[in-house]
Structures are given as C-alpha cells and as structure tokens.
Amino acid sequence: MSVELPFAPVDDIIRRNAGGLRVSAGAAEELAHRIQQEGTQQATVAAARAEADARKTLMADDFDIDSVPDKDTLVLPIAPVDRIARLDIDGRYRVSMDARIALTAALEGWADNVATAAAMLARHATRRTVKREDIEAYFELQQYFE
C-alpha cells in the first residue's frame, strides 16, 4: 500500500495541533500512512453499509458524519482521499462527492486527535519536535485503552 496523501497538508494538521512545536518529516509521513490505513478501513465499512442497502454508491451517511462541511474548510485534499477510499473496495462502488468530502472531514478530525496526542507525547519527552516515534507511540498506547 503506497501513501497517496501529500505530506504537506498532513504536516499542517500536526502543526495546528502541536502548539508551536516543530514537526519532523518522519512524523508527517507516518501520520499520512496511518490516515491512509484509517481511510481504507472506513471506506470498507461504508461499502458494507451500501451493500446492506443494495446500493452501488457510497453516500455521506455511510461515514457517520453529522453534516458535510464546506470542502474549502478542509486541509486534506479530496482527490487523494478518494483514491484511498477506493483501494480496498475494488471499483465495485461509486463514491459520491458528498461521501468524498465526508470521508475527508472524518479523516481530518481523526488526524487532529492523533496529532494532539503526539504533541503531548513529544512534550512529555521534553522535546520541541513531534517525531515519527510520537505518532507510533500513540498507536502503541492506544491498544491499551480500547
């Protein structure tokens, strides 16, 4: 699985949650990879919902988002998120524009949570830079709290 997301918007997400900490390229790369994994999982769940409703098109409601935001408010680009959504659903489904935006918003919110936690871990380690290891540590720790 190759990372489809450009790192610059992911770096922006980390920075807006890091409160003045620096961000390593490795942290942006790792979070981009994790966003892709989460996106394919969410798209697979959405495809199952569409299949249960005998639909061939993924809709915004399939992504459990309250309302579809304006696409101009999002940092993550929609086109790569669309490609990520299609990775594991094998072209069997269409993805509506509202669904693309909904998935992008859901992934951006999810990434905000990860970035906030990674910044806390960097501060705890008394570092001024969020690193790849902070993103990895978040997911390592997360398994104990599920």
Instruction: Give the model confidence (pLDDT) of 61-83 as tens digits.
Output: 999 888 999 999 999 999 999 99
pLDDT at position 4: 81
The whole-number pLDDT of residue 2 equals: 63
pLDDT beyond 70 at 1: no
Tell me the domain boundaries of the chain. 7-142
CATH fold for domain 7-142:
Histone, subunit A (1.10.20)
- The arithmetic mean of pLDDT across residues 101-120, rounded, is 97
Residue 3 — pLDDT band, cuts 50, 70, 90?
low
94-99 long-range contacts, CB within 8 A, separation 24+: 94/56, 94/57, 94/58, 95/43, 95/57, 95/58, 96/57, 96/58, 96/59, 96/60, 98/59, 98/60, 98/68, 99/46, 99/57, 99/58, 99/59, 99/60, 99/62, 99/63
pTM score, whole prediction: 0.94
Average pLDDT (39-43) is 96
